[in-house]
Amino acid sequence: MQIHTVKTTPIEGQKPGTSGLRKKTAVFMGPHYLENFIQSVITGTGGAQGKTYVLGGDGRYFNDRAAQVILRMLAAQGAMKVIVGQNALLSTPAASHLIRKRGADGGFIMSASHNPGGPNEDFGVKFNGPNGGPAPEGMTAKMYEETTRITEYKILDAQDVDFSGVGTQKLGELEVEVVDPVADYAAMMEDLFDFDKIRALLAGGFTMRFDAMHAVTGPYAKAIFEGALGAPEGSVINAVPSPDFGGGHPDPNPIWAKPLMDEMFGPDAPDFGAASDGDGDRNMIVGRGAYVTPSDSLAVLAANATLAPAYKGGLAGVARSMPTSGATDRVAEALGIECHETPTGWKFFGNLLDAGRATLCGEESAGTGSDHVREKDGVWAVLFWLNILAETGQSVGALLEAHWRKFGRNYYSRHDYEAVDSAAANTLVEELRAKLDDLPGQSFAGLTVEGADEFAYTDPTDGSVSEGQGIRIMLEGGRRIVLRLSGTGTDGATLRVYLERLETRPDHLDHDPQEALADVIAAADAIAGITRHTGRDAPDVRT
Ligand code: G6P
Ligand code: ZN
């Protein structure tokens, strides 16, 4: 088979964001676009010669064709072996697990996570390193540099590989092993959690609904919840991955998983509801009439971790992204363990997990995970909750209330302003940055600012510094506002405003979060001039 060396020129804008490179599908399908990026990843990580990779994706439109291109490029550059999920499917956490289990040199995950898919929607590729985690900033910087100076790429002239059945085949010199995407992952879950206990819970009439949102977790959830754990058929819904996620937006939050929310707050609600996103790393947990914010979920899991076999020896530490609420911090304090605050992006947890400084990690953006892989993990989070519910015999709502009574409640909400004009969004941030030092002592919407800064992170394991990671404004009474621009959007800028207030009075724990945060919301607009800059008088999304 012939190897082609194709002349190309740099394409602008191939800088990996919060989680890999994400663009409109049509952009990715444009001439040389995918090839330039893949070549830059390969070159930026020291070449593919003799290496072993994992390859899979969330099944979105272009997933299968992109996989063929990546394989042909790896074959052309002397890679030894690629382990591919059947039908080119692999959830992000399952890919992370496979990289670790097989000792691979890295993996390519084709996904734009929770963004919609289809010819007019989004596509993405991210590269994970040998620890199974997203490439750290130093590595993505090298890839980006390559994209700016690329002159050619190498690709093998070959027919498509058949991904439809498991087994090993050859593509030129490259060994291609197609594997069942679920089996290894499911086996790991069985090691981590008490499946007998969960099985007994479900056999005893406890009902659950898992919404796979037409995305990659469908086959995983079917095999684990309905197969191994015996939940009745139909407990998992929207379980067949579809290239456009059934026309939906595969993001597990109260807005995009509204049918599930309606069911959970309706008259015939099951005991437990959950959903996961496009590539299976996000999760939403909801009890009968009780929604659990991602920040609270991390705190509850940390507080009850020893109830699950994998964590019965206790936690080494916990980590949360900076915009995530402080609920977990107080659990860590009570447990006497380390608590780390990192920038947004799972990649920042990798070093802490590798160094054994954190066992559980979580983000307000519906991500929770542990040291079992180096990605956040949706199905894992659901199993963790089920294991805790099975051990305590409590409902989600009761567990949550008990948690708040013990630790206080961090009322929390994120307001997103989407597809904002990029220049306007940047001006907002620049103006705010310029006045940060003057804010302390001033009052806005009746609240006095106690502190304000722009978050910078020094990784305690390697000393690397990440600056400009979001603006924090601390207000009286345990209130906090965080503003930052999303690093995952593909359309203009997305302004995220994170709002939080700690409440410890036992008779004030059951308010509506938007009402409980009304003064913080007003202060955010007064300080940052959100309406003035964006022309919007309300956010597009409130989580
Ligand atoms: C992805 C990343 C997360 C991140 C989230 C939001 O899911 O894996 O780590 O929290 O995107 O990022 P953004 O930059 O859009 O706020
Ligand atoms: Zn995702």
pLDDT digits (tens, 9 = 90+) for 21-56: 999 999 999 999 999 999 999 999 999 999 999 999
Which class is domain 409-542?
A: alpha beta
Mean predicted lDDT score pLDDT of the chain = 96
Question: To the nearest whole percent, how much of the chain has pLDDT over 90?
Answer: 95
Using a 6 Å cutoff on CB, does residue 58 contact ligand 1?
no
How remote is the CA of residue 395 from the centroid of ligand 2, in Å? 27
Q: How close is the Cα of 487 to the center of ligand 1, in Å? A: 7
Helix axes 63-76, 33-44, angle to 10 degrees: 50
For residues 283 and 274, the answer to whether their CB atoms sit within 8 Å is: yes
| The pLDDT value given to residue 491 | 76
Q: What is the pLDDT of residue 190?
A: 98
Catalytic residues: 113
Any idea which of 176-180, 279-283, 345-349, 472-476 has the lowest mean pLDDT? 345-349
> Dihedrals φ, ψ of 410, to 5°?
-90, 95
Look at residue 490 and tell me whether its pLDDT is greater than 80: no
Task: Kindly state if the Cβ of 16 falls inside 6 Å of ligand 1.
Answer: no
Q: Give residue-wise pLDDT tens across range 496-528.
A: 999 999 999 999 999 999 999 999 999 999 999
C-alpha Rg value of the chain to the nearest Å: 23
Question: For residue 86, what is the enclosing H or E element?
Answer: strand 81-89
The pLDDT value recorded for residue 543 is: 86
Q: Is 391 exposed, middle or buried (0-12, 13-18, 19+ CB in 10 A)?
A: middle
pLDDT digit string, tens, across residues 436-476: 999 999 999 999 999 999 999 999 999 999 999 999 999 99
CATH number of the domain at 185-407, please? 3.40.120.10
What is the rounded distance in angstroms from the CA atom of residue 276 to the CA atom of residue 281? 7
- DSSP assignments along 422-491, one per residue: HHHHHHHHHHHHHHGGG-TT-EETTEEEEEEEE--EE-TTT--EE----EEEEETTTEEEEEEE-SS-SS
Which of 284, 361, 363 is the pocket-test mutation for ligand 1 (most atoms within 8 Å of CB)? 363
Q: Are strands 167-171 and 208-211 parallel, antiparallel or unpaired?
A: unpaired
User: Residues 176, 170: contact at Cβ < 8 Å?
Assistant: yes
Structure-token pair, residue 417:
């302003």
Q: Which burial class, exposed, middle or buried, applies to 24 when counting CB atoms under 10 A from its CB (0-12, 13-18, 19+)?
A: middle
Ligand with an atom nearest the CA of residue 17 = 1
Q: How far apart are CA 36 and CA 29, in angstroms?
A: 11
Residue 422's pLDDT is 92
| Proximal ligand: closest to the CA of 349 | 1
Whether 81 and 175 have beta carbons less than 8 Å apart is answered as: yes
CA 319 from chain centre, in angstroms, equals 14
For the segment 137-160, what is each residue's pLDDT rounded down to a tens digit? 889 999 999 999 999 999 999 999
Predicted confidence (pLDDT) per residue in 91-139, tens digit: 999 999 999 999 999 999 999 999 999 999 999 999 999 999 999 888 9
Using a 6 Å cutoff on CB, does residue 344 contact ligand 1?
A: yes
**Could you tell which of 92, 346, 540 is best to mutate to test the pocket of ligand 1, judged by most ligand atoms within 8 Å of the CB?**
346
Contact in structure between 324 and 111 (CB atoms under 8 Å): no
Q: Which atom of ligand 1 lies at the shortest distance from residue 494's CA?
A: 15
Judged by its nearest atom, the ligand closest to the C-alpha of residue 111 is 2
Domain boundaries, the chain: 3-179, 185-407, 409-542
Tell me, what's the pLDDT at 492?
86
Cβ neighbourhood burial of 359 (10 Å; 0-12, 13-18, 19+): buried
Q: pLDDT value at position 541?
A: 87
Domains 3-179 and 185-407 share a fold: yes
Q: What CATH number should be reported for the domain whose range is 3-179?
A: 3.40.120.10
